[in-house]
Structure 1
């Protein structure tokens, strides 16, 4: 099998498992705006384990129009309708992980008969390491990539990294059990 076929087979397997990747979800200019905003909001984030901080965006002192536009774009792509149910525990958050940090291996909860849809926009990623891990498989993501998966069904984590930082905007929704991810891989 040629290398491109191997890549496409891997992407198809991820989609079948309930993982969707959308590269270039935001433009470079939007990325720059989001990074500047995240840096300004970092002092307002709550520590969560060593080298990691996060906070529900709706509780931050500044929510820029670009964040609202990105949220609406996520909801449209994921076919969530006009008034989607935001996941009640972690909701919609900004996360910054510094060198030495990671996300521990876990899965999230969801009420019976529903799924916890988690859509992570990788605004900034370290040059090495820090990749998301879903079902024990590290996934290469470039900056500006949107990764969507069902967080209550799939154990997930991230690699430790030792340089740079990782900035993620995370959008969480409670969706019906019948919800399916759009085929965004390769889009």
Structure 2
């Protein structure tokens, strides 16, 4: 990337296997949900928009060069929906009562102190802090418009466990290439 090109990248946490299995089971219950692939299920921590080679090198060094806290990951039971991509379309208008085709369906994660500290450390070092940061795991993408209330009866796993890794990933397309993985447990 010495030629001035940039990529969009982000930091994520790889969630415990038991919770991934629970997300997969929830996906299979809902035909209206285009499931995320097993290997793509994660908690997004911080974005690096238009990262050049120097910023990616800093992010990689930070990811692999530090001892990170190991947050316990547990779902909060809260379900939200929305879309960063659709927000770019001037015809899109968020509707609290309707999960619109193309919106993400998101499962809230308890904001334990270790998770919030990790988020604060990453964003204070590399930028990307969001005032409305809400830790979550994406269940999937709505295939069609559906009532938001139809997700109220999801049997969301209540057990928790330690995050498995902190990853620096390249965003784009239907998969997220892992650039650096730092095992946490």
More strand by share: 2
Give the number of the structure whose alpha-carbon radius of gyration is greater.
Answer: 2
TM-score of the superposed pair, with normalisation by structure 1: 0.28
TM-score of the superposed pair, with normalisation by structure 2: 0.29
